[in-house]
Amino acid sequence: MNNDQNTAYRSDFHLTSLSSCSGCASKISAKMLTQILAPTQGIFNAVNYPNLLVGLESPDDAAVWKLDDKRGLVLTTDFFTPIVDNPYDYGRIAATNAISDVYAMGGTPFMALNIAALPPDLDPEILQQIMLGGSEAARDAGVVIAGGHTVRDAEPKYGLAVVGFVDLEAMFTKGGALPGDTLVLTKPIGFGTVTTALKREKAQAGDVAIVTKWMTRLNRDASLLAHEFGLKAVTDVTGYSLLGHSSEMTLASGVAYNIEFDQVPFLDESLSYAHQDIFPGGAGDNRDFYGSRITFERELVEWQKMMLFDPQTSGGLLMAVPSTKLSAFVARAQEMGQPAWIIGSVTQGSGVHVR
| pLDDT for residue 300 | 97
Write out the H or E segment, with its range, that includes residue 185. strand 182-185
Q: What is the CA radius of gyration of the chain?
A: 19
Residue 175 lies in a domain: no
Kindly state whether residues 161 and 284 are assigned to the same domain: no
Query: Per the domain annotation, does 268 fall within a domain?
Result: yes
Q: Are 171 and 72 in contact (CB under 8 A)?
A: yes
Q: Are 58 and 140 in a shared domain? A: yes
Q: Could you read off the pLDDT tens digit of each residue along the chain, which spans 355 residues? A: 444 444 334 446 789 988 776 555 566 677 887 888 888 888 887 788 999 898 877 777 789 999 999 999 999 999 999 999 999 999 999 999 999 999 999 999 999 999 999 999 999 999 999 999 999 999 999 999 999 999 999 999 999 999 999 999 999 999 999 999 999 999 999 999 999 999 999 999 999 999 999 999 999 999 999 999 999 999 999 999 999 999 999 999 999 999 999 999 999 999 999 999 999 999 999 999 999 999 999 999 999 999 999 999 999 999 999 999 999 999 999 999 999 999 999 999 999 999 9
Q: Are 269 and 355 in contact (CB under 8 A)?
A: no
Tally of domains in the chain:
2
Catalytic residues: 24
> Domain containing 98: what range?
3-170
Tell whether 206 is covered by a domain: yes
Residue 196 sits in the same domain as residue 141:
no
Whether residue 77 lies inside any domain: the answer is yes
What does the alpha-carbon distance between residue 291 and residue 54 come to, in Å, rounded to a whole number? 26
Q: CA 240 to CA 139: how far, in whole Å?
A: 28
Cα–Cα dist 265/186, whole Å = 9
Do 305 and 328 fall within a single domain?
yes
- The SS3 of residue 202 is coil
**CA atoms within a 13 Å half-sphere pointing along the CA-CB vector of 332:** 14
Residue where a domain stops, chosen among 137, 170, 203? 170
The CATH number of the domain holding residue 42 is 3.30.1330.10
How far is it, in rounded angstroms, from Cα 80 to Cα 32?
17
Q: Is 96 left (phi over 0), alpha (psi -120 to 50) or beta?
A: alpha
Residues 14 and 94 in one domain: yes
Instruction: Judge whether 123 lies within some domain.
Output: yes
Q: For residue 165, what are the β-bridge partners? A: 73, 108
Residue 176 lies in a domain: no
User: Are both 205 and 294 inside the same structural domain?
Assistant: yes
How far apart are alpha carbons 172 and 230 in whole angstroms?
Answer: 9
pTM score, two decimals? Answer: 0.92
